[in-house]
Structure 1
Amino acid sequence: MTLADELAYTTLSSLTSRIRRREVSPVEVVDAFIERINTRNPAVNAFVCEDFERAHDEAINAERAITSSCEVGPLHGIPVAIKDLFSSKPGTAMTMGGVRALKDNITQHRCIFSERIEQAGAIIVGKTNSPVMGFRGTCDNYLFGPSRNPFCLSKN
């Protein structure tokens, strides 16, 4: 089993503990999640915007903080994704779940959720597919296509 496969089913509390005990580094964790996303996303279509290079750079900084015994937040080094319903960073796209009129929308700010999750130490790796305006239980996105159930690809 690869580290990416192992970490995919690790609980958040276990993962944060392993990072703090230096059993696994933030770089290893972020890179493993990026590997898993690259492997699974072509079939699942969960990620619509990837920011892997920046996430890797942030993981390097997170690792430096751990090795320097700096005080870190509760989500330090944990990779997360933000729904395409929220502005994650200035200069990134946000279509509110595939609203055609927003296909070229670039945000000038970040939402409070994104800001606070990063303050807690999380590393945003990208944005995920969402139903239009978040109003459906299934994701039939007009701009990016439907996302699929990772356990049964024939389902949405």
Structure 2
Amino acid sequence: MQLKISLLGKRVSRTVLVANSIRYDQLHGLIQLLFGWSNLHLHRFDVPQTDTQYRAELDDDFDDHETFNDERHYFAYPDLQKGDVIYTYDFEANLQHRIRLEENVTMAHFIKAGYPQVPFCVSGVGVNRLADSATEPMADRFDRQAINDQLAAISDGWFSLD
């Protein structure tokens, strides 16, 4: 499936092809790579249509009295079929992203387009933002080739045409 992940309030987005079987924990790791972050902050996924929340399981010392679903056990696709999902990273900076299912990509389309692996970054707009700031851009500009090189290195075992 093709997802567009947009940082709300900024002209920053990434379009990526992923397997329909991607779980929320995998999607979190992918977003970290796409936006140049290092997984230093808490995050969560919110599904407005069902009032559902997914996030990483935290240790027993962290008790915020909220009900949530462990992201390691849920696939994103069923929720994305219903509408956008909101990903919030770094609660202090409140970096909110809209994740939109743009289209379901068939294998024939995937092969015809010559995409070498899944996941694959199709396009992007805007510079990366500092994880601690919703306003300050990082020095790193969007580099699709560098992202896809990293994705190729980790995609072994997912799907690759090589």
The TM tier, using the shorter chain, reads under 0.3
Scaled by the length of structure 2, the TM-score of the pair is 0.27
TM-score, reference length from structure 1: 0.27
Bigger strand fraction: 2
Higher RCO (C-alpha under 8 Å, 6+ residues apart)? 2
